[in-house]
Structure 1
């Protein structure tokens, strides 16, 4: 039986998150037509605040669809911990009088510590400190396609369930979240 999602909704902060998710899914063979990335603020306000505010509405949409739909949420922890940012998402559901996400729901919350640039630096083979910002140092903003080869490495390792050697803690946590939706991506 094919359990592949007919639609994947992506709620993210910015273009780099968008490119990261689309490229990752492409390497998994997920057709671009099944991926719907919601508009993001594009420099107008806090991307994290936008994601947190829109999370309940998007989760409600996923829960109400009869066709298989997955939700991928990408929000940087910034100067907060990954747990604090995850709690921000949970609190937004609580404020909307919605139950938290169940383990069986096709929802993946990806929370890079500091920013997704930290993961990209690590994928380049460099040691990282999740308390530091690498946005300016790496310069992937406005040149997002230059990150494709790094994203491809991670996507392939995840596809093969290959153990990552000393990844940043937030990436390890994201891999656990990703496993929740593996079956709806692969159709297995």
Structure 2
């Protein structure tokens, strides 16, 4: 099978989240030159505000791209209730005059609750909850992120069943990923790589 040509933009809060998403995308068949980052610049307001502010323009670019572009949004839920960040993103589209995200649009939302550290904690220890602030209390280290990302990437690439007790936001992320996994009409599906993603 041929490699896909569609590029993917990762809209996220910071470099750590981008690296996590990057490893998953590489494992699932995207080439390095097909992955672009839109990351918050430090010192210019809240990182999640950057994602919320940039989302309408990225969605518009996706729609203008006529299927030649995918969008993966990574934004922490923080203290928002389940679905809260998704509603905020939807509201930003409405205010910008963009229609709501369609069921078949190639736009995936990853919203870790409480934050990405929750996923890292679960992937490393097999147990986590979405209320504990692991970033502050348990000090998830940067060196824990790479093996956690690689483990999640393998789950996505091979469509492994989710482990028992998986946090809900991670299960939702797996479903969301299907929006961008399949190749658009007229293009070859993603070819899974044997090698893991680059660091």
CA-atom RMSD, angstroms?
2.1
Q: 1:82, 1:111 within 8 Å by CA — same for their partners in 2?
A: no
CA distance in 2, matches of 1:121, 1:60: 34
Q: 1:15, 1:42 within 8 Å by CA — same for their partners in 2?
A: no
Structure 1 SS opposite 2:127: coil
Q: What is the CA deviation profile of residues 16-51 of structure 1, one whole-angstrom value per residue up to 9, with x for unaligned ones?
A: 111111111122231111111013133542111110
Match of residue 111 from structure 1: 111
Does residue 1:180 correspond to 2:175, yes or no?
Answer: no
- 1:1-188 alignment to 2 at 5 Å? 4-66=4-66, 68-136=68-136, 137-140=138-141, 143=142, 146-165=144-163, 166-184=165-183, 187=189
Q: 2:28, 2:156 within 8 Å by CA — same for their partners in 1?
A: no
CA distance in 2, matches of 1:3, 1:55: 27
Unaligned segments of structure 2, at least 5 residues: 191-199
CA distance in 2, matches of 1:106, 1:184: 10
Q: 1:9, 1:38 within 8 Å by CA — same for their partners in 2?
A: yes
| 1:76/1:5 CA distance change after superposition, 3 Å | farther
Aligned length: 185
CA distance in 1, matches of 2:82, 2:60: 23
Q: CA deviation at 1:91?
A: 0.2
Q: 1:55, 1:89 within 8 Å by CA — same for their partners in 2?
A: yes
Q: CA deviation at 1:124?
A: 0.5
Match of residue 193 from structure 2: none
CA distance in 1, matches of 2:39, 2:152: 25
Q: CA deviation at 1:104?
A: 1.4
Structure 2 SS opposite 1:138: coil
CA distance in 1, matches of 2:183, 2:67: 12
Unaligned segments of structure 1, at least 5 residues: none
Q: CA deviation at 1:55?
A: 0.3
More helix, by proportion: 1
TM-score by length of 2: 0.85
